């Protein structure tokens, strides 16, 4: 009796392991249970196989039909004596090989679709707005500025930038410079802002320092290509707006601000 119980336990354990393995290669839970049950029985009616697999009869019928479609089972006889017969397990390898080839075809067809889908996605005048949250989000929006094909127009509070990402900007300035991306920046004339402006030449930047008491701000705005990037340092939120129309309008507004900022910068230095 004890030996019989041990054998039953080992068989059940093996059966459960096989079901898990089948799920790992793409079988649903019900498919794995019905397939293992059918292998154990060799053949059986829907009711018999479903009962052994502990799957309800209605679901069992659909699952067995799917196994037949996969070439893992065949049908013998006709209703009401119709039985399902397990195909040799080697057929599973054939099925997996076929699925692999089919998936390769899907991958190839999907790749061919991408250019057309991209064209459809980029069509139209509506802006694309992306939101980024947290420290990683702020890094992400700043990394995007390194894709600029033109000088960046910026309103930047250096104090809040360095406070939010203390380790980031020590390398960012150099990476931007090496890419040949120049920048014009309107910066509140805090102690940190004035110190940063001393590195303008090496960091390919032209700064316009403005009185910090009258023109203090925290969120940063960068305008480049067809994009407007906003980094809210204190709220840890980054936004990138992609719109040729909005970017063009912001560039015009910036040029007005730049002219006054340069006048104020000159006043501060006299």
Identify the bridge partners of residue 75 per DSSP, sorted by sequence position. 84
Query: Would you list the domain boundaries of the chain?
Result: 2-88, 128-269
The 10 Å Cβ neighbour count of residue 147 is: 11
Segment (H or E) for 131? strand 128-133
Query: Which token pair is 103?
Result: 């998936």
pLDDT in tens, 11-67: 677 778 888 888 887 888 988 888 888 888 888 888 899 999 888 888 888 988 888
Q: Is the per-residue pLDDT at 228 higher than 80? A: yes
Angle made by CA atoms 205, 209, 212, in degrees to the nearest 5: 140
pLDDT of 26 reads 80
pLDDT in tens, 126-135: 678 999 999 9
pLDDT in tens, 91-137: 888 887 887 888 888 788 888 877 777 766 655 566 789 999 999 99
pLDDT band, very low/low/confident/very high, at 7 (cuts 50, 70, 90)? very low
Three-class secondary structure of residue 139 per DSSP: helix
Distance CA 99, CA 90 (A): 15
Identify the CATH homologous superfamily for domain 128-269.
Endonuclease Chain A (3.30.870.10)
CATH classification of 2-88 is 1.10.10.10, yes or no? Answer: yes
Q: What sign has the CA pseudo-torsion 76, 81, 86, 91?
A: positive
Q: Please state whether the peptide bond connecting residue 80 to the residue before it is cis, i.e. omega within 30 degrees of 0.
A: yes
Token look-up 């019989």 returns: 4
Three-class secondary structure of residue 37 per DSSP: helix
Question: Nearest 5°: phi and psi at 184?
Answer: -110, 130
Sheet of 205-210, strands arranged across: 128-133, 237-242, 227-232, 220-224, 152-155, 183-188, 205-210
Query: Which token pair is 200?
Result: 């303008």
pLDDT in tens, 70-81: 888 888 877 767
Distance CA 228, CA 243 (A): 8
Q: Is the per-residue pLDDT at 158 higher than 70? A: yes
Average pLDDT over residues 230-253: 94
Q: What sign has the CA pseudo-torsion 54, 60, 64, 66?
A: negative
The 10 Å Cβ neighbour count of residue 254 is: 19
Distance CA 258, CA 184 (A): 9
pLDDT of 5 reads 53
Q: What is the largest CA-CA distance in the chain?
A: 103
Identify the bridge partners of residue 123 per DSSP, sorted by sequence position. none
From 217, 152, 207, 140, select the one nearest 179 (Cα to Cα): 152
Residues contacting residue 57 through CB under 8 Å, at least 6 positions apart: 46, 47, 50
Token look-up 């096989």 returns: 18
Average pLDDT over residues 254-266: 94
pLDDT of 133 reads 92
Q: Is the per-residue pLDDT at 161 higher than 90? A: yes
Distance CA 96, CA 102 (A): 10
Average pLDDT, the chain: 87
């Amino acid at each position: 009796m004890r030996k019989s119980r041990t054998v039953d336990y080992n068989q059940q354990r093996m059966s459960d392991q096989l079901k898990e393995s089948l799920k790992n290669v793409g079988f649903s839970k019900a498919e794995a249970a019905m397939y293992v049950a059918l292998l154990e029985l060799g053949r059986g009616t829907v009711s018999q196989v479903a009962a052994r697999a502990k799957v309800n009869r209605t679901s069992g019928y659909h699952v067995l039909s799917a196994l037949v479609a996969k070439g893992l089972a065949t049908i013998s006889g006709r209703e009401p004596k119709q039985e399902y017969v397990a195909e040799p397990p080697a057929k599973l390898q054939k099925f997996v090989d076929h699925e692999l080839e089919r998936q390769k075809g899907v991958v190839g067809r999907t790749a061919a679709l991408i250019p057309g889908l991209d064209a459809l996605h980029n069509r139209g005048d509506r802006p694309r707005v992306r939101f980024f949250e947290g420290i990683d989000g702020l890094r992400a929006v700043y990394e995007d500025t390194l894709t600029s094909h033109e000088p960046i127009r910026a309103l930047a509070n250096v104090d809040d930038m360095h406070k939010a990402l203390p380790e980031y900007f020590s390398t960012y300035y150099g990476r931007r410079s090496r890419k040949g991306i120049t920048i014009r920046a309107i910066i509140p004339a805090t102690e940190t802002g004035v110190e940063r402006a001393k590195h303008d030449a090496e960091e390919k930047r032209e700064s316009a320092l403005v009185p910090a008491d009258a023109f203090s701000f925290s969120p940063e705005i960068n305008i480049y290509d067809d994009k407007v990037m906003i980094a809210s340092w204190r709220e840890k939120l980054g936004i990138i707006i992609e719109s040729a129309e909005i970017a063009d309008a912001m560039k015009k507004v910036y040029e007005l601000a730049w002219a006054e900022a340069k006048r104020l910068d000159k006043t501060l230095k006299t």
